[in-house]
């Protein structure tokens, strides 16, 4: 934990204050508290002037979301920041404020956090500090200020779009399969004002920044200018953070994958969901991780396969919210061949998994939960999420009418990049006429799996561990 922050994947939230969709749900401290309890280390708050322009609201600007006060959010962060992990909480602030309100933010933040707040003492850092050196500290990251934008008009413009949100059915426990999450860009994305391009402020505006506010900013988030190579310019005198929406990252890695990876050796790259995800859905996080992105920002309130992967990755390293990136991402010798996840690589090791049996459903579920008249029909889907060459899903046979199914099946997974591989496990209850019922899931970092026979606890859709449901499995590496 003693390397610079840029050497770690960091458990990162997006619009951390939202309880539901991006357009019309409530803003609240509850999702912030829930995220921190689960070990999330990056909390995002969007700061806007309130209706009387004398206080700060946390709200998704230009939408019908109901605001929550900044001071409530700061208090919630202070109380819950270090319950799950002692390692630093990074507070990313999207600032839409006038200078007088920036001064008010500075006062609130310093009074709330006190000695816990980290000050860098300098405008620039050659390298970011380490998680170890920032233990039990709160670190503020934001961009320089921009002109205050009145959102009254955009509020009414968005009213119509809020009526068109597709709600994720509670019955659809699984969500989309991961291969479907690399979607084509939607027309909405073209029109949607990008987070990363909302900050085309003039350099002279920086002079108006309140000094008390400026000294809060420990990690400078930089605006994007020019093309991909300009964004990814590596300034040897100053480490920085930039933000890219998922579709822009996707475009960048098509032709500049190694530039993205080289950039992330010293600088922080934050990836966030595209604008058309008004239902607060998520993307495949491997797109960011396989290219070295540290802050893969997720809507933590939306459960399903992408979030299960996120939870799986951050079960690693004791669940502290920071996972060291593999060494091959950090080689910066000019003669070194930079890692590229698209390259065809030899198999490094093969993971052999045997699924023996499962138990515990009869204790955690009602007798009629799966089928009214008969015991459940369970099968297991098991596979790898990682670089494209390693990603695959397989399944066992269906065991009919049995609360304690015995599969006794073995699977082999050849891995070219085991350092980025996650083992996906889903238990389905087969339903001939409808969608399979949900019987549990887990996701485990392959790089921390130990050989041997293991009782593997399963989790519900939210990622909470069942009291009793487990699979008996064996892991071997050859």
Q: Rounded to the nearest 5°, which phi and psi values hold at 185?
A: -65, 135
DSSP assignment letter at 321? S
Q: Extract the tokens encoding 422.
A: 């996650």
Q: Extract the tokens encoding 204.
A: 């002279």
303 catalytic? Reply is no
Other CB atoms within 10 A of residue 74 CB: 23
- Whether 278 contacts 165, CB under 8 Å: yes
- Whether 31 contacts 22, CB under 8 Å: no
428 catalytic? Reply is no
Q: Residue 65 and residue 161: Cα distance in Å, rounded?
A: 13
Q: Which residues contact 84 (CB under 8 A, 6 or more apart)?
A: 36, 37, 38, 39, 319, 321
- Whether 350 contacts 412, CB under 8 Å: yes
From the list 14, 256, 428, 459, the catalytic residue is 14
- Whether 11 contacts 294, CB under 8 Å: no
The three-state secondary structure class of 61 is coil
Q: What is the dihedral of CA 38, 40, 41, 43, to 10 degrees?
A: -120
Q: DSSP H helical segments within 114-234, as ranges?
A: 152-162, 187-191, 211-214, 228-231
The three-state secondary structure class of 217 is strand
Q: Residue 339 and residue 257: Cα distance in Å, rounded?
A: 9
Q: Extract the tokens encoding 104.
A: 């008010």
What is the residue whose two structure tokens read 């293991």? 454
- Residues acting as catalytic residues: 14, 60
């Amino acid at each position: 934990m003693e390397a610079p922050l840029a050497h770690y994947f960091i458990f990162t939230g997006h619009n951390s204050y939202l309880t539901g969709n991006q357009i019309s749900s409530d803003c609240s401290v509850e999702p912030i508290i829930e995220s921190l309890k689960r070990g999330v280390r990056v909390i995002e708050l969007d700061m806007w002037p309130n209706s009387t322009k004398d206080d700060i609201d946390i709200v998704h600007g230009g939408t019908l979301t109901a605001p929550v006060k900044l001071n409530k959010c700061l208090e919630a962060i202070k109380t819950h920041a270090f319950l799950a992990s002692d390692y630093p909480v990074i507070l990313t602030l999207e600032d839409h404020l006038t200078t007088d309100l920036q001064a008010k933010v500075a006062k609130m933040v310093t009074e709330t956090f006190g000695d816990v707040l980290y000050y860098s003492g300098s405008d620039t850092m050659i390298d970011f500090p380490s998680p170890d050196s920032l233990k039990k500290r709160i670190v503020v990251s934001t961009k320089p200020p921009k002109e205050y934008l009145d959102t009254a008009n955009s509020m009414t413009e968005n009213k119509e779009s809020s009526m068109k949100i597709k709600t994720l059915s509670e019955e659809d426990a699984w969500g989309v399969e991961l291969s479907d999450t690399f979607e084509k860009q939607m027309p909405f994305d073209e029109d949607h004002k990008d987070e990363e391009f909302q900050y085309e402020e003039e350099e002279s505006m920086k002079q108006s920044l309140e000094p008390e506010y400026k000294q809060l900013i420990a990690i400078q988030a930089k605006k994007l200018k020019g093309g991909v190579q300009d964004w990814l310019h590596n300034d040897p005198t100053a480490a920085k953070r930039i933000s890219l929406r998922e579709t822009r990252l996707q475009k960048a890695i098509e032709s500049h994958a190694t530039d993205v990876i080289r950039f992330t050796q010293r600088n922080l790259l934050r990836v966030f969901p595209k604008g058309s995800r008004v239902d607060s859905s998520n993307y495949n996080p491997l797109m960011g991780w396989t290219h070295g992105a540290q802050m893969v920002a997720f809507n933590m309130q939306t459960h399903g396969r992408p979030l299960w992967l996120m939870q799986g990755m951050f079960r690693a390293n004791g669940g502290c919210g920071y996972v060291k990136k593999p060494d091959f991402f950090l080689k910066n010798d000019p003669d070194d061949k930079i890692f590229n996840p698209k390259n065809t690589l030899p198999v490094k090791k093969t993971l052999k998994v045997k699924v023996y049996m499962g138990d515990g459903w009869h204790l955690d579920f009602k007798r009629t939960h799966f089928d009214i008249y008969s015991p459940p029909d369970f099968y297991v889907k098991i596979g790898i999420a990682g670089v494209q060459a390693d990603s695959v899903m397989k399944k066992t046979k269906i065991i009919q009418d049995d609360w304690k199914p015995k599969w006794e099946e073995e699977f082999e997974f050849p891995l070219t990049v085991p350092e980025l591989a996650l083992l996906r496990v889903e238990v389905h209850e087969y339903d001939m006429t409808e969608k399979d019922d949900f019987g549990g899931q887990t996701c485990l970092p392959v790089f921390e799996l130990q050989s041997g026979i293991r009782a593997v606890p399963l989790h519900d859709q939210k990622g909470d561990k069942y009291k009793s449901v487990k699979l008996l499995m064996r892991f071997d590496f050859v």
